[in-house]
Amino acid sequence: MHQRHIVIKNETGIHARPASLIVKEAQRFKADIVLIKNENEYNCKSIMSILSTSSKKGEEMLLKATGEDAEAAIEAIGNLLESNLDA
């Protein structure tokens, strides 16, 4: 299991475009990947789940992955989550 704290840096937070980019990236990995916010788990391979985090700029979440490629998944999705997702 691998995990990393991430902070949303995207100006408009997580909406349809960022969510679809995150899911597309997450689906490249075999690992189970979740975001944890207020003790709720959100599946990074589901658009609706990611949208449901209702994340705004500056919010911190825990990114957690379990599985053979978990480390690479955390690296890739963590970096993506902290990037400017609207660019």
Q: Is 15 a catalytic residue?
A: yes
Using the minimum distance from each CB to other proteins, give the nearer residue, 2 or 22.
22
Using the minimum distance from each CB to other proteins, give the nearer residue, 27 or 79.
27
- Counting every residue written for the chain, the total comes to 87
Check 15, 32, 37, 76 and give the catalytic one.
15
User: DSSP characters for 32-72?
Assistant: EEEEEETTEEEETT-HHHHHTT---TT-EEEEEEESTTHHH
Token pair listed for 85: 């997702």
Residues that bind other proteins (CB under 8 A): 12-13, 15-17, 19-21, 23-24, 46-48, 51-52, 54, 56
Question: What one-letter code names the amino acid at 49?
Answer: S
Task: Compute the least distance from the CB of residue 12 to other proteins, in Å.
Answer: 5
Catalytic residues: 15
